[in-house]
Structure 1
Amino acid sequence: MVLTLATPISEIELVPSNALRLKDVTGSGYLALLQELGENRSTRLTYSNEIVEIRTPGQLHEVINRLLAAIILTLADSLDLVFNNLGSTTFNRADLTEGIEPDSCFYIQNVDIANSSASKLAVYKALGVPEIGLYSQGNLTVKTLTADGYSDVENSLAFRIVSAAQLNGWLKLGETGTDLTMIQAVRQEINALNET
Protein backbone atom coordinates (compact mmCIF):
# COMPACT_ATOMS: atom_id res chain seq x y z
CA MET A 1 0.00 0.00 0.00
CA VAL A 2 1.28 3.44 -0.90
CA LEU A 3 0.20 6.47 1.11
CA THR A 4 0.54 9.95 -0.31
CA LEU A 5 0.45 12.81 2.17
CA ALA A 6 -1.31 15.94 1.02
CA THR A 7 -0.38 17.73 4.24
CA PRO A 8 3.16 19.08 4.59
CA ILE A 9 5.16 16.92 7.02
CA SER A 10 5.85 20.00 9.17
CA GLU A 11 2.11 20.25 9.95
CA ILE A 12 1.74 16.68 11.25
CA GLU A 13 1.66 16.60 15.06
CA LEU A 14 2.88 13.63 17.04
CA VAL A 15 1.70 12.95 20.57
CA PRO A 16 4.66 12.83 23.02
CA SER A 17 6.22 9.36 23.44
CA ASN A 18 5.08 8.27 19.97
CA ALA A 19 6.83 7.69 16.68
CA LEU A 20 6.01 7.74 12.99
CA ARG A 21 7.91 5.43 10.60
CA LEU A 22 8.28 6.17 6.92
CA LYS A 23 9.56 3.33 4.72
CA ASP A 24 11.36 3.36 1.37
CA VAL A 25 12.83 6.82 1.90
CA THR A 26 15.91 7.60 -0.19
CA GLY A 27 18.90 9.42 1.23
CA SER A 28 17.94 12.56 -0.69
CA GLY A 29 14.36 12.18 0.57
CA TYR A 30 15.65 12.03 4.15
CA LEU A 31 17.74 15.17 3.66
CA ALA A 32 14.74 16.94 2.10
CA LEU A 33 12.63 15.88 5.09
CA LEU A 34 15.20 17.35 7.49
CA GLN A 35 15.13 20.60 5.56
CA GLU A 36 11.30 20.67 5.52
CA LEU A 37 11.09 20.11 9.28
CA GLY A 38 13.76 22.71 10.06
CA GLU A 39 15.80 22.94 13.24
CA ASN A 40 13.27 24.46 15.65
CA ARG A 41 11.29 21.34 16.51
CA SER A 42 10.78 18.87 19.34
CA THR A 43 10.93 15.77 17.14
CA ARG A 44 14.02 13.65 16.64
CA LEU A 45 14.80 11.64 13.53
CA THR A 46 16.67 8.43 12.82
CA TYR A 47 17.42 7.25 9.28
CA SER A 48 18.63 3.72 8.57
CA ASN A 49 17.97 1.13 5.86
CA GLU A 50 15.65 3.54 3.99
CA ILE A 51 13.42 3.96 7.07
CA VAL A 52 12.91 7.32 8.75
CA GLU A 53 11.64 7.26 12.32
CA ILE A 54 10.27 10.55 13.63
CA ARG A 55 9.72 10.50 17.38
CA THR A 56 8.52 12.91 19.98
CA PRO A 57 9.93 12.35 23.47
CA GLY A 58 7.55 12.30 26.43
CA GLN A 59 7.95 13.97 29.82
CA LEU A 60 9.71 11.08 31.61
CA HIS A 61 12.04 10.68 28.64
CA GLU A 62 13.01 14.35 28.84
CA VAL A 63 13.43 14.24 32.64
CA ILE A 64 15.90 11.35 32.35
CA ASN A 65 17.63 13.08 29.41
CA ARG A 66 18.12 16.28 31.43
CA LEU A 67 19.32 14.38 34.53
CA LEU A 68 21.91 12.47 32.50
CA ALA A 69 23.06 15.68 30.82
CA ALA A 70 23.46 17.35 34.23
CA ILE A 71 25.46 14.35 35.51
CA ILE A 72 27.75 14.37 32.46
CA LEU A 73 28.34 18.12 32.62
CA THR A 74 29.04 17.94 36.35
CA LEU A 75 31.45 15.01 35.87
CA ALA A 76 33.29 16.76 33.04
CA ASP A 77 33.58 19.92 35.11
CA SER A 78 34.66 18.07 38.28
CA LEU A 79 37.27 16.05 36.38
CA ASP A 80 38.54 19.05 34.37
CA LEU A 81 37.69 17.38 31.05
CA VAL A 82 37.34 19.40 27.88
CA PHE A 83 33.83 18.93 26.50
CA ASN A 84 31.25 20.47 24.25
CA ASN A 85 27.52 20.05 24.79
CA LEU A 86 26.10 19.55 21.29
CA GLY A 87 22.50 18.92 22.43
CA SER A 88 20.44 16.82 20.02
CA THR A 89 22.44 17.78 16.94
CA THR A 90 21.87 15.89 13.69
CA PHE A 91 24.59 13.46 12.61
CA ASN A 92 24.80 12.46 8.95
CA ARG A 93 27.66 11.15 6.88
CA ALA A 94 27.64 11.73 3.15
CA ASP A 95 29.20 8.31 2.49
CA LEU A 96 26.54 6.49 4.56
CA THR A 97 22.82 6.21 4.27
CA GLU A 98 22.45 6.67 8.02
CA GLY A 99 21.51 9.61 10.19
CA ILE A 100 20.53 10.14 13.81
CA GLU A 101 19.63 12.83 16.32
CA PRO A 102 20.62 11.64 19.80
CA ASP A 103 18.74 12.91 22.83
CA SER A 104 21.91 14.52 24.12
CA CYS A 105 25.35 14.55 22.60
CA PHE A 106 28.66 15.60 24.05
CA TYR A 107 32.03 15.88 22.40
CA ILE A 108 33.24 13.29 24.92
CA GLN A 109 30.19 11.03 24.75
CA ASN A 110 26.78 10.43 23.16
CA VAL A 111 23.77 9.65 25.28
CA ASP A 112 20.64 8.29 23.67
CA ILE A 113 17.58 7.95 25.88
CA ALA A 114 14.83 5.83 24.37
CA ASN A 115 13.25 2.45 24.86
CA SER A 116 13.97 1.63 21.22
CA SER A 117 17.61 2.79 21.32
CA ALA A 118 19.01 -0.73 21.03
CA SER A 119 17.74 -0.80 17.46
CA LYS A 120 19.72 2.36 16.69
CA LEU A 121 23.10 0.94 17.74
CA ALA A 122 23.86 0.02 14.11
CA VAL A 123 23.52 3.69 13.14
CA TYR A 124 25.88 4.79 15.92
CA LYS A 125 28.33 2.03 14.90
CA ALA A 126 28.25 3.17 11.26
CA LEU A 127 28.97 6.73 12.43
CA GLY A 128 31.88 5.49 14.61
CA VAL A 129 30.51 6.73 17.95
CA PRO A 130 32.89 5.18 20.54
CA GLU A 131 30.53 5.17 23.55
CA ILE A 132 26.78 5.19 24.14
CA GLY A 133 24.77 5.54 27.31
CA LEU A 134 21.59 3.50 26.81
CA TYR A 135 18.70 4.07 29.21
CA SER A 136 15.93 1.51 29.12
CA GLN A 137 13.37 0.32 31.67
CA GLY A 138 14.82 2.39 34.50
CA ASN A 139 18.44 1.35 34.00
CA LEU A 140 21.41 3.00 32.30
CA THR A 141 23.98 0.78 30.60
CA VAL A 142 27.26 2.06 29.22
CA LYS A 143 28.27 0.54 25.89
CA THR A 144 31.56 0.89 24.03
CA LEU A 145 32.21 0.20 20.37
CA THR A 146 34.16 -2.95 19.52
CA ALA A 147 34.82 -4.66 16.19
CA ASP A 148 31.67 -6.74 16.72
CA GLY A 149 29.39 -3.85 17.73
CA TYR A 150 28.60 -2.41 21.15
CA SER A 151 29.40 -4.21 24.39
CA ASP A 152 28.30 -3.39 27.92
CA VAL A 153 31.10 -2.07 30.12
CA GLU A 154 31.25 -1.31 33.81
CA ASN A 155 33.09 2.00 33.46
CA SER A 156 32.78 4.79 30.93
CA LEU A 157 35.62 5.53 28.52
CA ALA A 158 35.02 9.24 29.04
CA PHE A 159 34.78 9.00 32.86
CA ARG A 160 36.95 6.02 33.79
CA ILE A 161 36.50 6.44 37.54
CA VAL A 162 32.70 6.31 37.26
CA SER A 163 30.79 3.04 37.12
CA ALA A 164 27.41 2.38 35.54
CA ALA A 165 26.14 1.59 39.06
CA GLN A 166 27.18 5.07 40.25
CA LEU A 167 25.46 6.68 37.26
CA ASN A 168 22.27 4.75 38.02
CA GLY A 169 22.46 5.79 41.68
CA TRP A 170 22.71 9.45 40.71
CA LEU A 171 19.81 9.08 38.29
CA LYS A 172 17.64 7.58 41.03
CA LEU A 173 18.61 10.46 43.33
CA GLY A 174 17.66 12.94 40.60
CA GLU A 175 14.30 11.23 40.13
CA THR A 176 13.42 11.39 43.84
CA GLY A 177 15.20 14.58 44.86
CA THR A 178 16.03 17.82 43.14
CA ASP A 179 18.50 18.43 40.34
CA LEU A 180 20.67 20.40 42.77
CA THR A 181 20.74 17.52 45.26
CA MET A 182 21.88 15.19 42.50
CA ILE A 183 24.57 17.59 41.21
CA GLN A 184 25.90 18.07 44.74
CA ALA A 185 26.06 14.29 45.25
CA VAL A 186 27.98 13.85 41.98
CA ARG A 187 30.48 16.57 42.94
CA GLN A 188 30.90 15.20 46.47
CA GLU A 189 31.55 11.65 45.25
CA ILE A 190 33.97 12.76 42.51
CA ASN A 191 35.86 14.99 44.97
CA ALA A 192 36.16 12.00 47.35
CA LEU A 193 37.41 9.78 44.52
CA ASN A 194 39.95 12.41 43.45
CA GLU A 195 41.32 12.64 47.01
CA THR A 196 42.11 8.92 47.14
Structure 2
Amino acid sequence: MHLTITDDKIDLPPGGEVILRHQTWLNYEKLLESRQDKAAIKIYFDAATQEIRIMAPLPGHGKKSDTLSDLVKALLRYQGQDWDSFDPITLKRFDQAGLEPDACFYIQNRQAILGKERIDLEIDPPPDLALEIDLTSSTEPEDYQAIAVPELWIYRRKVLYIYLFDGEQYQESFNSSTFPKIPVKQLIPNYVERAWEAGSSVALKEFEKKLREL
Protein backbone atom coordinates (compact mmCIF):
# COMPACT_ATOMS: atom_id res chain seq x y z
CA MET A 1 0.00 0.00 0.00
CA HIS A 2 1.33 3.42 -0.99
CA LEU A 3 0.52 6.57 0.99
CA THR A 4 1.59 10.04 -0.10
CA ILE A 5 1.08 13.08 2.14
CA THR A 6 2.39 16.51 1.19
CA ASP A 7 1.27 20.06 2.00
CA ASP A 8 -1.22 19.98 -0.88
CA LYS A 9 -1.88 16.31 -1.56
CA ILE A 10 -3.05 13.05 0.06
CA ASP A 11 -3.01 9.86 -2.02
CA LEU A 12 -4.17 6.49 -0.71
CA PRO A 13 -5.30 3.54 -2.85
CA PRO A 14 -8.98 2.43 -2.62
CA GLY A 15 -9.50 0.18 0.38
CA GLY A 16 -6.42 1.49 2.14
CA GLU A 17 -6.28 2.57 5.77
CA VAL A 18 -3.38 4.17 7.62
CA ILE A 19 -3.08 5.05 11.32
CA LEU A 20 -0.73 7.87 12.32
CA ARG A 21 0.22 7.84 16.00
CA HIS A 22 1.39 10.63 18.36
CA GLN A 23 -0.59 13.22 16.43
CA THR A 24 -2.01 16.59 17.50
CA TRP A 25 -5.06 18.63 16.60
CA LEU A 26 -2.81 20.86 14.47
CA ASN A 27 -1.61 17.80 12.52
CA TYR A 28 -5.24 16.86 11.93
CA GLU A 29 -6.19 20.33 10.68
CA LYS A 30 -3.22 20.34 8.28
CA LEU A 31 -4.28 16.98 6.85
CA LEU A 32 -7.80 18.27 6.26
CA GLU A 33 -6.29 21.15 4.28
CA SER A 34 -4.03 18.78 2.31
CA ARG A 35 -6.97 16.63 1.25
CA GLN A 36 -8.53 19.53 -0.64
CA ASP A 37 -11.39 18.21 -2.80
CA LYS A 38 -10.72 14.49 -2.30
CA ALA A 39 -13.87 13.96 -0.27
CA ALA A 40 -13.63 10.19 -0.75
CA ILE A 41 -10.65 10.13 1.62
CA LYS A 42 -11.90 10.15 5.21
CA ILE A 43 -9.83 11.47 8.11
CA TYR A 44 -10.56 10.78 11.80
CA PHE A 45 -8.82 12.25 14.82
CA ASP A 46 -8.97 11.06 18.44
CA ALA A 47 -7.23 13.19 21.05
CA ALA A 48 -7.52 10.44 23.68
CA THR A 49 -5.32 8.06 21.65
CA GLN A 50 -3.45 10.80 19.74
CA GLU A 51 -4.20 8.92 16.53
CA ILE A 52 -5.25 10.00 13.06
CA ARG A 53 -6.90 7.44 10.78
CA ILE A 54 -6.86 8.01 7.03
CA MET A 55 -9.17 5.81 4.93
CA ALA A 56 -9.91 5.51 1.22
CA PRO A 57 -13.17 3.58 0.79
CA LEU A 58 -13.67 0.94 -1.89
CA PRO A 59 -15.96 1.77 -4.84
CA GLY A 60 -18.79 -0.37 -3.40
CA HIS A 61 -18.77 1.76 -0.27
CA GLY A 62 -20.43 4.71 -2.02
CA LYS A 63 -23.29 2.62 -3.42
CA LYS A 64 -24.15 1.09 -0.05
CA SER A 65 -23.83 4.47 1.64
CA ASP A 66 -26.22 6.08 -0.86
CA THR A 67 -28.68 3.20 -0.44
CA LEU A 68 -28.66 3.40 3.35
CA SER A 69 -29.19 7.16 3.20
CA ASP A 70 -32.10 6.74 0.76
CA LEU A 71 -33.72 4.18 3.06
CA VAL A 72 -33.47 6.58 6.00
CA LYS A 73 -35.14 9.29 3.91
CA ALA A 74 -37.92 6.85 3.03
CA LEU A 75 -38.40 6.13 6.74
CA LEU A 76 -38.58 9.83 7.53
CA ARG A 77 -41.15 10.42 4.77
CA TYR A 78 -43.16 7.47 6.09
CA GLN A 79 -43.22 9.11 9.54
CA GLY A 80 -44.07 12.52 8.07
CA GLN A 81 -40.87 14.09 9.40
CA ASP A 82 -38.82 16.86 7.86
CA TRP A 83 -35.03 16.66 7.88
CA ASP A 84 -31.80 18.17 6.64
CA SER A 85 -29.00 15.83 5.61
CA PHE A 86 -25.28 16.28 5.00
CA ASP A 87 -22.99 14.14 2.83
CA PRO A 88 -20.09 14.52 3.12
CA ILE A 89 -19.47 16.45 6.33
CA THR A 90 -16.62 16.90 8.82
CA LEU A 91 -17.74 16.96 12.45
CA LYS A 92 -15.13 18.43 14.82
CA ARG A 93 -15.03 19.02 18.55
CA PHE A 94 -12.05 21.34 19.06
CA ASP A 95 -8.96 19.58 20.38
CA GLN A 96 -10.95 16.40 21.11
CA ALA A 97 -12.13 14.58 18.02
CA GLY A 98 -12.87 14.92 14.33
CA LEU A 99 -14.66 12.46 12.10
CA GLU A 100 -16.60 12.14 8.87
CA PRO A 101 -19.75 10.01 8.81
CA ASP A 102 -20.93 8.68 5.47
CA ALA A 103 -24.14 10.65 6.01
CA CYS A 104 -25.91 12.39 8.85
CA PHE A 105 -29.37 13.76 9.49
CA TYR A 106 -30.75 16.67 11.46
CA ILE A 107 -34.32 15.82 12.41
CA GLN A 108 -35.34 17.10 15.86
CA ASN A 109 -32.62 19.77 15.62
CA ARG A 110 -33.28 20.64 11.97
CA GLN A 111 -34.35 24.23 12.66
CA ALA A 112 -31.06 24.99 14.41
CA ILE A 113 -28.92 24.46 11.30
CA LEU A 114 -31.15 25.65 8.44
CA GLY A 115 -29.24 27.80 5.96
CA LYS A 116 -25.81 26.86 7.31
CA GLU A 117 -23.07 25.63 4.98
CA ARG A 118 -20.79 24.51 7.82
CA ILE A 119 -21.55 22.95 11.18
CA ASP A 120 -19.65 24.32 14.18
CA LEU A 121 -20.17 22.04 17.17
CA GLU A 122 -19.06 24.81 19.50
CA ILE A 123 -22.38 26.52 18.83
CA ASP A 124 -24.45 24.05 16.77
CA PRO A 125 -26.01 20.79 17.98
CA PRO A 126 -24.65 17.51 16.60
CA PRO A 127 -26.70 15.61 14.02
CA ASP A 128 -29.54 13.50 15.38
CA LEU A 129 -28.49 10.43 13.37
CA ALA A 130 -25.17 9.45 11.79
CA LEU A 131 -24.54 6.60 9.34
CA GLU A 132 -21.36 4.62 8.80
CA ILE A 133 -20.71 1.90 6.22
CA ASP A 134 -17.81 -0.36 7.18
CA LEU A 135 -16.36 -2.26 4.23
CA THR A 136 -12.61 -1.80 4.69
CA SER A 137 -12.27 -0.12 8.08
CA SER A 138 -13.90 -0.62 11.45
CA THR A 139 -15.83 2.22 13.03
CA GLU A 140 -16.27 2.01 16.78
CA PRO A 141 -19.02 3.85 18.67
CA GLU A 142 -16.29 5.23 20.95
CA ASP A 143 -15.09 7.27 17.96
CA TYR A 144 -18.28 9.32 18.30
CA GLN A 145 -18.33 9.93 22.07
CA ALA A 146 -16.79 13.40 21.94
CA ILE A 147 -19.16 14.39 19.12
CA ALA A 148 -22.21 13.05 21.04
CA VAL A 149 -24.48 12.21 18.12
CA PRO A 150 -27.64 10.83 19.81
CA GLU A 151 -27.99 7.85 17.43
CA LEU A 152 -25.35 6.06 15.38
CA TRP A 153 -25.89 3.34 12.77
CA ILE A 154 -22.97 1.17 11.63
CA TYR A 155 -23.64 -1.18 8.72
CA ARG A 156 -21.10 -4.00 8.63
CA ARG A 157 -21.17 -7.42 6.93
CA LYS A 158 -24.91 -7.34 6.24
CA VAL A 159 -25.74 -6.39 9.83
CA LEU A 160 -27.09 -3.05 11.07
CA TYR A 161 -25.73 -2.06 14.49
CA ILE A 162 -27.66 0.64 16.34
CA TYR A 163 -26.00 2.66 19.11
CA LEU A 164 -27.70 5.22 21.35
CA PHE A 165 -25.75 7.85 23.30
CA ASP A 166 -26.71 7.98 27.00
CA GLY A 167 -24.84 11.21 27.74
CA GLU A 168 -21.56 9.48 28.53
CA GLN A 169 -21.15 6.54 26.17
CA TYR A 170 -22.90 4.56 23.45
CA GLN A 171 -25.11 1.59 24.25
CA GLU A 172 -26.00 -0.96 21.61
CA SER A 173 -29.73 -1.19 21.01
CA PHE A 174 -32.09 -3.46 19.10
CA ASN A 175 -34.41 -0.51 18.47
CA SER A 176 -33.97 2.92 16.94
CA SER A 177 -34.99 6.00 18.94
CA THR A 178 -35.52 7.83 15.64
CA PHE A 179 -37.84 5.13 14.30
CA PRO A 180 -39.15 3.45 17.48
CA LYS A 181 -42.11 1.66 15.87
CA ILE A 182 -40.23 0.22 12.88
CA PRO A 183 -37.99 -2.88 13.04
CA VAL A 184 -35.15 -1.18 11.17
CA LYS A 185 -32.51 -3.59 12.46
CA GLN A 186 -34.30 -6.42 10.66
CA LEU A 187 -35.49 -4.50 7.58
CA ILE A 188 -32.55 -2.32 6.56
CA PRO A 189 -29.97 -5.06 5.75
CA ASN A 190 -32.44 -6.80 3.40
CA TYR A 191 -32.88 -3.70 1.28
CA VAL A 192 -29.26 -2.53 1.33
CA GLU A 193 -28.30 -5.91 -0.12
CA ARG A 194 -31.32 -5.90 -2.43
CA ALA A 195 -30.06 -2.66 -3.98
CA TRP A 196 -26.76 -4.38 -4.76
CA GLU A 197 -28.56 -7.24 -6.52
CA ALA A 198 -31.52 -5.52 -8.22
CA GLY A 199 -30.58 -1.84 -8.33
CA SER A 200 -31.16 1.13 -6.06
CA SER A 201 -34.54 2.25 -7.39
CA VAL A 202 -35.99 -1.27 -7.26
CA ALA A 203 -34.88 -1.75 -3.65
CA LEU A 204 -36.24 1.65 -2.62
CA LYS A 205 -39.66 1.01 -4.20
CA GLU A 206 -39.86 -2.40 -2.53
CA PHE A 207 -38.87 -0.87 0.81
CA GLU A 208 -41.53 1.84 0.56
CA LYS A 209 -44.13 -0.83 -0.30
CA LYS A 210 -43.04 -2.83 2.75
CA LEU A 211 -43.46 0.21 5.01
CA ARG A 212 -47.02 0.73 3.75
CA GLU A 213 -47.77 -2.86 4.71
CA LEU A 214 -46.57 -2.51 8.31
Q: CA 1:6/1:158 → structure 2, altered by over 3 Å: closer, same or farther?
A: closer
TM-score, scaled relative to structure 1: 0.85
Counterparts in 2 of 1:69 and 1:126: CA distance versus 1, 3 Å: same
Q: Is the 8 A contact 1:117 1:134 kept in 2?
A: no
1:72 counterpart letter in structure 2 = V
Partners of 2:162 and 2:7 in 1: CA distance:
35
* Offset, 1:148: 6.0
Q: Is contact 2:145-2:168 (8 Å) kept?
A: no
More helix by share: 1
Instruction: Please point out which of 135, 153, 162 is paired with 2:173.
Output: 153
Q: Identify the match of residue 129 of structure 1 among 143, 149, 166.
A: 149
Aligned equivalent of 1:58: 58
> Is 2:10–2:35's contact at 8 Å kept on the other side of the alignment?
no
Aligned residue runs from structure 1 range 40-119, under 5 A: 40-48=38-46, 49-94=49-94, 96-107=95-106, 108-115=128-135, 116-119=137-140
Aligned match of 1:18: 16
Q: Which of 153, 161, 181 is matched with 1:141 structurally?
A: 161
Compare 11-20 and 125-134 and name the one that shifted more: 11-20
**Structure 1 residues 97 and 148 mapped into 2: Cα distance closer, same or farther (>3 Å)?**
closer
Q: Deviation string for 1:24-59 (max 9, x for gaps)?
A: 221122112212322443201110122111111102
Look up the match of 2:197. 176
Alpha-carbon distance in 2 for matches of 1:80, 1:23: 45
Structure 2 unaligned segments of length 5 or more: list them.
107-127
Equivalenced residue count is 187
Matches within 5 A, 1:181-192: 181-192=202-213
Q: TM-score, normalised by structure 2?
A: 0.79
Q: Secondary structure at the match of 2:89?
A: coil
